[in-house]
Amino acid sequence: MKLPDRINRIVAGKPYTENLTGMSGSRVLMYDEFVLKIEKWRPENAETIDVMRWLEGRIPVPTILAYEVTGGDSYILMSRIQGKMACDDYYLTRPEELVTLLAEALQMLWTVDVAGCPRERTIDKELAEARYRVENSLVDLDNVEPETFGPGGFRDPEELLAWLYENKPSYEPVLSHGDFCLPNIYLDNGKISGFIDLGDAGIGDKWRDIALCYRSLKHNAEGTYGGKVYPDTDPMQLFKKLQIEPDWDKIRFYLLMDELF
C-alpha cells in the first residue's frame, strides 16, 4: 500500500491492524499511537477536518496529525483515542455504567458553545442531501431496518423521502456528533475518553444523536451485532439518565431519515 510521503514518514515500519467495525466503507488502520483513515475523497472531507480542529480542546477528539489528498483518496492521520468502544462486551455486561456514560457523552456535546462551529446540518440540509441520494440511487437497501420498506412500511425511498418532507420536526440545535453509535464513543476507566468518526459532526438537532444512540444501544443489547444478547441492557434507561421523556415522533423521524444515508 503506497501512502502519501508526509504520512509515510510518520508511520513507515510501524505495525498496524485494520479495524473492520462500522459501515462507512473507509479503510481504518490502527497503529499503537495513530489511526489512519483512508476513504474516497469528497468535498465534505475538508469541512470535516475543519470541524475536528475546531473541536480540539472542546471535547475529547483525535488530533489531526496529517491530511493529504491524492489519487482520488483522502488520508487522515490522527492520534489514537485510548479506551474501549462503548459496544465492548465489558460495558454491555455493565449496563448501568454504560448507559450513565452514554448520557454523559450526549450532555457533554450539548454543553459546548457552538458559536463559530464551521458546519451546521439543519433539517433542510439533511433532507436536501437525502433527496440527492434518492434521486441518484445511492440508498443502500441492504442496510435498512427490515420493517422500513415493504408490507407495513414504505413502498420505496421516494415515498419515505416524501414522508420526511411532510413530517419535519422542530429544530433543536446543539453540537451534534451526527453518528452517535456505540462504536464511535470510547470509554476508559469510568470516563468518556473520546469521540471518533466525526464526518457528520457540527451544529445539528439534538434528537438525531438521541435517536441513533437509542437504536445502537437497542441493537447491541438484542444481539443484532455479533449475536450475543445482553438481557440486562435496557435502552429505555437512556431517557431516565438524560432526565427527559422520549419524543417518539422525533426519534422515528431521525431513524427513518438515517435509512436514506
pLDDT digits (tens, 9 = 90+) for 112-156: 999 999 999 999 999 999 999 999 999 999 999 999 999 999 999
CATH 3.90.1200.10 residue spans of the chain: 84-258
- What are the tens digits of pLDDT across the range 234-246? 999 999 999 999 9
Evaluate if residue 218 carries a pLDDT over 80.
Answer: yes
Query: How confident is the model at residue 24, as a pLDDT?
Result: 61
Q: Select from 110, 144, 142, 137 the least CA-distant residue to 257.
A: 144
Cβ neighbours, 10 Å, residue 78: 19
Q: Does residue 31 register a pLDDT over 80?
A: yes
How large a percentage of the chain has pLDDT more than 90? 92
Query: Residue with C-alpha cell 444515508?
Result: 261
Of all residues in the chain, the percent with pLDDT exceeding 70 is: 98
d(CA 256, CA 148): 8
In 9-80, DSSP assigns E strands to 17-18, 27-30, 34-40, 64-70, 73-79
**Mean pLDDT, range 185-206, rounded to an integer:** 97
Cell (9 digits) for 74 = 483522502
Among 3.90.1200.10, 3.40.50.740, 3.30.70.3400, 3.40.1160.10, name the CATH number for the domain at 84-258. 3.90.1200.10
List active site positions.
179
pLDDT digits (tens, 9 = 90+) for 147-158: 999 999 999 999
- The pLDDT of 255-260, averaged and rounded, is 98
Q: Is the pLDDT of residue 71 over 80?
A: yes
In which residue ranges of the chain is CATH 3.30.200.20 found? 5-79
Is 70 exceeded by the pLDDT of residue 1? yes
Is 70 exceeded by the pLDDT of residue 29?
Answer: yes
pLDDT value at 20 more than 70 = yes
Asked if residue 43 has pLDDT above 90, the reply is no
What band does 254 get if pLDDT is binned at 50, 70 and 90? very high
CATH class of the domain at 5-79: alpha beta
Collapsing DSSP to helix, strand or coil, 97 comes out as helix
* pLDDT score of 23: 58
Whether residue 48 contacts residue 74, with contact meaning beta carbons closer than 8 Å, is answered with no
| pLDDT computed for residue 22 by the predictor | 61
> What pLDDT digit, counting tens, does each position of 158-181 carry?
999 999 999 999 999 999 999 999
The SS3 call for residue 184 is helix
pLDDT at position 120 is 97
Q: 120-141 burial, b for 16+ CB within 10 Å, e for fewer?
A: ebebeebbebbbebbeeeebee
| pLDDT for the residue numbered 9 | 95
CA-based nearest residue to 257, from 184, 180, 172, 163: 163
Residue 25 pLDDT exceeds 80: no
Q: In the predicted model, what is the mean pLDDT of the chain?
A: 95
